[in-house]
């Protein structure tokens, strides 16, 4: 899923240019490794690693390379499982924001006039409500509905996942605001280009102009912003986890692991591995995503290239 940049086929050479430079290459390799580890890692672990044991807070050793937690669970397994959920939430949340934000921004920017004014006013109003409150109100409101819906669909056994679904929805539905603004701004400049006027003069439908002419030219900036939204959503989820509103135990995300690790910090007995391993996993991934985003931006922006 990380290979999304490959979709910018309209401007050949970007992919090659990214791969030639060391920073985006390292970032891509890191992201591929993390994704692969998240997908197959937990399956490769021995069954006993998943279970609660009496081996509480044992430091990293051969049996448990990352040590164990409060309940004697293997931290390596927990971090891999956390990678699954954090990446799932981050990527799905970013994609929801991508679809909603792009569609909204496209319509507002293309329509212009009063519709544009009204739509952007609505975004402004949503911006003036604290993010945390919107997220919490969503969680509060969705919680019951998603749970009953899942029970009705015979998905009762997946009750633990309902929170993950709610988180993805909420975070996706809050992150789209910025995406909409960026896309709209871009559409306003694109709309003034002559090829759009030509398409209009030829009698092409608005839908076709939007999807065939405007969307492909937007993809670059949107992909950049997408790579930067994934880390933002992962971070948001970690804050919700700290507040006890994120992923629910026994499921783990990097956020819940970090929150657990941070809560046991004390000068007498530092269970450092509880903080260091999830922290390194999360930071490396977020850094890689940010560096990749910056590199794509530089690759598509002629002004940034020197």
Partner 1 sequence: MVTFILRRIISLLFVLFCVITITFFLMKLAPGGPFDRERKIPPQIMKELLAKYRLDGPWTQQYRDYLWDVVHGNLRLSLRYRNRSVNELLAQTLPVSGTLGGIAFLIATAGGIWVGAFAAVRHHRPADTLSMLGALLAISIPTFVVGPLLILVFALRLRWLPVGGWSGISYLILPAITLAAPYLAYIARLMRTSMLEVLGSDFIRTARAKGLSQPRIVYKHALKVAILPVVSFLGPLAANLLTGSVVVESIFNIPGAGAFFVNSVLNNDEFLLGGVVIVYCSLLVVMNLIVDLVYMGLDRRIRLYD
- Residues binding partner 1 (CB under 8 A): 124-125, 127-130, 132-133, 136-137, 140-141, 143-144, 231, 235, 238-239, 242-243, 245, 255, 258-259, 261-263, 265-267, 270, 275, 279, 282-283, 286-287, 290-291, 303
- Report the helix count and the strand count for the chain, using DSSP H and E: 11, 0
Among residues 203 and 267, whose Cβ is nearest to partner 1? 267
The length of the chain in residues reads 306
φ, ψ of residue 124 to 5 degrees: the values are -60, -40
> How far, in Å, are 51, 93, 258 from residue 78 at the CA level?
10, 22, 11
Please give the helix or strand (H or E) that residue 135 lies within, else none.
Answer: helix 131-152
The beta-strand segments (E) located in 229-271 are none
| C-beta contacts of 67-73 below 8 A and 24+ residues apart | 67/271, 67/273, 67/274, 67/277, 69/260, 69/274, 70/260, 70/264, 73/49
What's the rounded Cα separation, in Å, for the pair 166 and 29? 30
Structural contact between residues 29 and 301, judged by C-beta atoms closer than 8 angstroms = no
Contact 246, 238 (CB under 8 A): yes
Q: Report the residue number, 77 or 291, with the smaller CB distance to partner 1.
A: 291
């Amino acid at each position: 899923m990380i290979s999304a940049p490959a979709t910018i086929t309209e401007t050949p050479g970007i992919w090659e240019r990214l791969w030639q430079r060391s920073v985006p290459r390292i970032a891509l390799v890191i992201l591929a490794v993390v994704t692969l580890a998240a997908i197959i890692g937990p399956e490769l672990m021995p069954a006993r690693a998943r279970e609660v044991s009496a081996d509480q807070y044992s430091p990293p050793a051969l049996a448990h390379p990352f040590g164990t937690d409060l309940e004697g669970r293997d931290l390596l397994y927990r971090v891999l499982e956390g990678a699954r959920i954090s990446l799932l939430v981050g990527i799905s949340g970013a994609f929801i924001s991508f679809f909603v934000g792009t569609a909204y921004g496209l319509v507002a920017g293309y329509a212009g006039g009063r519709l544009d004014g009204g739509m952007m006013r609505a975004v402004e109003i949503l911006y003036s409500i604290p993010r945390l409150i919107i997220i919490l109100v969503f969680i509060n409101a969705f919680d019951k509905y998603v749970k009953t819906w899942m029970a009705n669909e015979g998905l009762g056994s997946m009750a633990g996942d309902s929170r993950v679904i709610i988180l993805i929805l909420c975070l996706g539905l809050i992150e789209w605001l910025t995406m909409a603004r960026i896309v709209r701004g871009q559409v306003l400049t694109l709309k003034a280009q002559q090829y759009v006027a030509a398409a209009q003069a030829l009698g092409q439908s608005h839908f076709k102009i939007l999807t065939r002419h405007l969307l492909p030219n937007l993809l670059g900036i949107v992909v950049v912003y997408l790579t930067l939204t994934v880390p933002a959503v992962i971070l948001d989820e970690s804050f919700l986890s700290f507040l006890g509103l994120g992923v629910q135990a026994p499921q783990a995300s990097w956020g819940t692991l970090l929150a657990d690790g941070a809560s046991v910090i004390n000068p007498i007995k530092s269970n450092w591995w509880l903080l260091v391993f999830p922290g390194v996993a999360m930071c490396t991934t977020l850094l890689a995503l940010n560096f990749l985003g910056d590199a794509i931006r530089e690759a598509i922006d002629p002004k940034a290239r020197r």
